Amino acid sequence: MHFPSARHYAAIKSFGGYRPARVVTNDELATQVDTSDEWILTRVGIRERRFAAPGETAVSMAVEAGREAIERAGIAPTDIDLVLVASCTLPTQLPSAAPEVAHLLGIGAPGAFDINAACAGFCYGIGQASHAVQTGAAETVLVIGVEKFTDWVDPSDRSTYIIFADGAGAAIVGRSPEQRIAQTVWGSAGDRPEAIIVRDRRSLIEMDGRAVFRWATTEVRDEITRICAASGLSLRDIDVFAPHQANLRIIDSMVRALDFRDDVVVARDIAVSGNTSAASIPLAVRALLERGEARSGDKVLTIGFGAGLTFAGQVFEMP
Ligand SMILES: CC(C)(COP(=O)(O)OP(=O)(O)OC[C@H]1O[C@@H](n2cnc3c(N)ncnc32)[C@H](O)[C@@H]1OP(=O)(O)O)[C@@H](O)C(=O)NCCC(=O)NCCS
C-alpha cells in the first residue's frame, strides 16, 4: 500500500534573538583569570560577551528570542505547530525545554523536542524544520538555539571561560511558494568525543582547544564546498557567509581558503557575543540584518560545528 504523502516548499520567515544585558569585557575576565585583552583579541577575536543575570535561564532566554522571531514573521503563536530547541547547556535532562518554551509563548500543544548537536544545533534544527514543512508534518516551525554557558564553564579555566557566553537566537520556518532552504549537509567525527566534553553530571566543560581548532580549519572547512554544492549554487553566488562564531581566526581561515566573492558579507558577531554555540548563527544573522549589512533575498551559507564532533550547514534565502 502507499501512504499519503505531501510535498510543500519551506523558507525561513524571520529571525529573532536575545542577548543578556550584562556586558563582560576581556579586562573584567582578566581580573579573575590569568589572561589579557590583547591575548583574547588576537587569539580568539572576542572584545566582549554577554553573561546571563542570575535569574535568567535557558528557557527564559529562548522565550525572548522566540517571541521576537514570531513578531517579526507577523504570525500568531497559535500558528506554530512544531517547536525545536537546540542547546547543549540546559540545566537538566528531563523534561526537555521545548514544550515549556512553547507553553510560555502561548503556542498550544505543538510538536516539541530538543536537539543536542552542540554548536551545530541550530543548523540541525533548520534542516529538521525544513524537512517537517516539506513533508507536511508541520506547517510553521519555531527553531531556537539557546545557551547558558555560565552554568557549565569553570571560571578558573582560562581556555573556556574567555570563549563561551550566553544568549539565544531563533527563526521561523514556514511554507513558501518556492523552496528557499537548500538541502542540509551534516556529519560527525565521533572518534573525538574528548575534544569538548562534560564528563558527568557533576562536571564542567573541558576542551582541547588545539584539536578543535585543527578540525575546524581542515575537515570542517572542506565541508563548506559540499554545503554550497547541495544548493546548486557556487561559492561566487553566496552573498552572506554566516559560520558558527567560535573563533575569529577560524572564520578568517575559512574565508581565505574558499572562493567567495570579494564583496561577500561575513558574520563576525563573535567580537561582541563570544561563542554562544547553538545561538551564535541566528544571533549573527540577526545582527547583520539589523545593521543593514544583509538584505532580504540574499543567499546565505551557514555552517555550525562543535562538540561531538558534529557539523551541519545549509544555504538559505534571507527572509
Ligand atoms: C582555545 C584557543 C583560543 C587557544 O588558543 P591557541 O592559540 O590554540 O593557544 P594554545 O592552547 O596553543 O596556548 C598558547 C599559550 O597561550 C596560553 N593560554 C591559553 N589560554 C589563554 C588565555 N585565555 N589567556 C592567556 N594565555 C592563554 C597557553 O597556556 C599557552 O601558553 P604556553 O605557550 O606558555 O604553554 C584556541 O585553540 C581555539 O580557539 N580553539 C578552538 C576552540 C573552539 O572554537 N571551541 C569551540 C568550538 S565550537
The answer to whether 275 is a known catalytic residue is yes
Q: Which residues contact 103 (CB under 8 A, 6 or more apart)?
A: none
| 2 lies in some domain | no
Locate the DSSP E strands across 149-189.
Answer: 166-176, 185-188
Q: Answer yes or no: do 226 and 260 share one domain.
A: yes
Ligand 1 contacts CB of residue 209 (under 6 A):
yes
Q: For residues 265 and 129, state if they share a domain.
A: no
Residue 172 lies in a domain: yes
If asked whether residues 209 and 255 sit together in one domain, one would say yes
Q: How far is CA 284 from CA 15, 244, 288, 302, in A?
A: 10, 9, 6, 11
**Could you tell me which of 64, 247, 252 has the C-alpha nearest to residue 165?**
247
Q: Domain tally for the chain?
A: 2
pLDDT at 189: 94
How many angstroms separate the alpha carbon of residue 297 from the centre of ligand 1?
A: 38
C-alpha torsion sign, points 291, 294, 300, 301:
negative
Q: What are 85's strand-pairing partners?
A: 114, 144
Domain boundary among 123, 158, 176: 176
Q: Which of 176, 202, 224 is the last residue of a domain?
A: 176
Report whether residue 212 contacts ligand 1, using a CB cutoff of 6 Å.
yes
For residues 40 and 58, give the distance between their C-alpha atoms in angstroms, rounded to a whole number. Answer: 26
User: Does one domain contain both 156 and 195?
Assistant: no
The answer, yes or no, to whether any atom of ligand 1 lies below 6 A from the CB of 43, is: yes
Residue 203 lies in a domain: yes
Q: Is 244 a catalytic residue?
A: yes
Same structural domain for residues 155 and 195? no
Q: What is the DSSP letter of 129?
A: H
Q: Kindly report the CATH number assigned to the domain that includes residue 152.
A: 3.40.47.10
For residue 237, the enclosing domain spans 185-317
Do 133 and 201 fall into the same domain?
no
Q: Residue 33 in contact with residue 156, Cβ under 8 Å?
A: yes
Residue 158 is predicted with a pLDDT of 95
Tell which one of 156, 210, 220 to mutate to probe ligand 1, the residue whose CB is within 8 A of the most ligand atoms: 210
Q: What is the mean pLDDT of the chain?
A: 97
Does residue 273 sit within a domain? yes
Angle (CA) 83 99 244, round 5°: 50
Our mutation pick for probing the ligand 1 site, out of 36, 38, 43, 253, counting the most ligand atoms within 8 A of Cβ, is 43
Q: Are residues 76 and 103 in the same domain?
A: yes
Please report whether residue 279 resides in a domain: yes
Give the end of a domain, one of 126, 142, 176.
176
Q: Whose CA is nearest to atom 38 of ligand 1?
A: 209
Asked, for residue 91, whether it belongs to a domain, the answer is: yes
For every residue of 2-33, DSSP letters joined together read -------EEEEEEEEEE--SEEEEHHHHHTTS
Asked if residue 1 has pLDDT above 90, the reply is no
Whether 150 and 192 share a structural domain: no
Q: What is the pLDDT of residue 5?
A: 86
**What is the tens place of the pLDDT at every residue in 111-157?**
999 999 999 999 999 999 999 999 999 999 999 999 999 999 999 99
Q: CA-CA-CA-CA torsion for 218, 219, 225, 227, nearest 10 degrees?
A: -140
If you take atom 37 of ligand 1, which residue's CA is the nearest one? 209
Pocket test for ligand 1, best of 36, 149, 213 (most atoms within 8 A of CB): 213
Candidates 88, 116, 119, 228; catalytic one: 119
pLDDT tens readout for residues 255-292 = 999 999 999 999 999 999 999 999 999 999 999 999 99
Q: What are phi and psi of 272, to 5 degrees?
A: -115, -5
* 34 and 166, same domain (yes or no): yes
> pLDDT at residue 249 above 90?
yes
Residue 254 has pLDDT above 90, yes or no: yes
Q: Whose CA is nearest to atom 1 of ligand 1?
A: 209
Q: Cell 543575570, residue?
A: 53
